[in-house]
Chains A and B, each alone.
Chain A
């Protein structure tokens, strides 16, 4: 019998290595797996690369992980906000490496990884400093820049409902990067608000099928 639900946070985090590339779901706080982030803080892995849209807020979750000097590099589209104080401090002090990627290019690089595509040409960022040094090519009369796939070792995600096969639904704008990141990591770990019985999710309404998911951490304790 397949059962991807884990019994403890230690089981959810098992095997995450120092130096891992972590794909982190969420857009700001919405759809961000805060409980799994706390688990990663407890787990202790260091020298991490984080791939996420934002660079954490206040002094919790991702920001706390960075404050503990556990993140060496962050790949994101929008690190700056009034509450991203930890990131700003580390960046100014030269203690964290930053790769800025346009938001759609970030999403598509992750999708390419999940879909087995090595890279793609996009019109986004042509003529800007984010295309400096990259291969350019004119396709159908338009200049395009080559971007390559962005793979994760681990994806940490948040879903609304999950069953024991790892089929997932999301809640409103909590979907965001979660489905695409689920496809692109060697190990995909999901915190889920509700565990439902296999068969309870309408197959037409499953957004992420369980083939992309390895572990489910139930936020409300007991599995169904």
Chain B
């Protein structure tokens, strides 16, 4: 069984993004999706802090201290890009103008609920950022995450145990084991990583799976 690497997961998601889409990528692994979209394809990346048309990271010596993404990393602006205020940036998000948002998550439930901002046992201050706005506002939400936690617990579940970010909004999940759509009937397997068996996927998932 060969699990997809983080780069392969990002590439798998990137392959499903059509040219012309406006896309917000969450902090962490989802940010890697941008590097998997070739520069000649016009996919426009949005960043919550008011950047529309985020380009690749600059060489360290070319970093502009005034130009960061939502993860506070230095970025560039691609030709045709623009800057907006936070107010307009979240009008873009909440107003349904983004074709897609890709977020990381702690858990995704079979009805599309997502939990990605706080864990139940967390004693530090919770930090929500723009996750709830993105989950509620983008035209479609995909989640990019490992199939299980580091200690092997399923992250695709019947009901989320962690505090929710938004209700019934995830359309598709890309994990290191499989690509799954969320349908009326639950998780539907679109593709599995090479050598992943149905049995292995079922064992790593705490919800029913539909195999097409």
Q: A53 contacts which chain B residues (CB < 8 A)?
A: 86
Whether A103 lies near B137 (C-beta < 8 A) is no
Q: B166 contacts which chain A residues (CB < 8 A)?
A: 125-128
Chain A residue nearest in CB terms to B81: A172
Interchain CA distance A78-B129 in the complex, whole Å: 5
Chain B residue nearest in CB terms to A171: B66
Interchain CA distance A101-B15 in the complex, whole Å: 34
Interface membership of chain B positions 56-73, coded 1 if the CB is closer than 8 angstroms to chain A and 0 otherwise: 000000001111110010
Q: B130 contacts which chain A residues (CB < 8 A)?
A: 77, 102-104
Whether A103 lies near B127 (C-beta < 8 A) is no
Whether B125 lies near A80 (C-beta < 8 A) is yes
Whether A123 lies near B137 (C-beta < 8 A) is yes
Q: A100 contacts which chain B residues (CB < 8 A)?
A: 125-128
Q: Which of A1-9, A59-67, A86-94 contacts B (4 or more CB under 8 A)?
A: A86-94
Q: A88 contacts which chain B residues (CB < 8 A)?
A: 124-125
Whether B66 lies near A174 (C-beta < 8 A) is yes
Chain B residue nearest in CB terms to A79: B125
Interchain CA distance A85-B47 in the complex, whole Å: 26
Q: A128 contacts which chain B residues (CB < 8 A)?
A: 132, 163-166
A88 to chain B, nearest CB (A): 6
**Does chain B have a CB within 8 A of A28?**
yes
Number of residues in B with C-beta < 8 Å to the partner?
41
**Does chain B have a CB within 8 A of A167?**
no
| A71-122 at interface with B (beta carbon < 8 Å) | 77-81, 87-88, 91-92, 98, 100-105, 107-108, 110-111, 122
Whether B129 lies near A103 (C-beta < 8 A) is yes
- Main SS of chain B's interface residues? loop
Q: B50 contacts which chain A residues (CB < 8 A)?
A: 27, 173, 175-176
**Does chain B have a CB within 8 A of A217?**
no
**Does chain B have a CB within 8 A of A212?**
no
B27 to chain A, nearest CB (A): 10
Interchain CA distance A170-B83 in the complex, whole Å: 10
Interchain CA distance A171-B77 in the complex, whole Å: 13
A42 to chain B, nearest CB (A): 25
Whether B49 lies near A92 (C-beta < 8 A) is no
Q: A103 contacts which chain B residues (CB < 8 A)?
A: 48, 86, 90, 128-130, 133
Q: B51 contacts which chain A residues (CB < 8 A)?
A: 172-173
Q: A128-B132, A171-B66 are in contact. Are A122 and B124 (CB under 8 A)?
A: no
| A173-192 at interface with B (beta carbon < 8 Å) | 173-180
Whether A172 lies near B77 (C-beta < 8 A) is yes
Q: A122-B94, A128-B166 are in contact. Are A28 and B132 (CB under 8 A)?
A: no
Interchain CA distance A30-B49 in the complex, whole Å: 10
Chain A contacts to B: CB under 8 angstroms: 27-31, 53, 55, 77-81, 87-88, 91-92, 98, 100-105, 107-108, 110-111, 122-130, 170-180, 207
Q: Give the top 9 A-B pairs by smallest Cβ distance, nearest first.
A: A104-B90, A104-B133, A80-B127, A127-B167, A103-B130, A172-B66, A102-B132, A180-B87, A107-B86
Chain B contacts to A: CB under 8 angstroms: 47-51, 64-69, 72, 77, 83-87, 89-90, 93-94, 113, 123-133, 136-137, 163-167
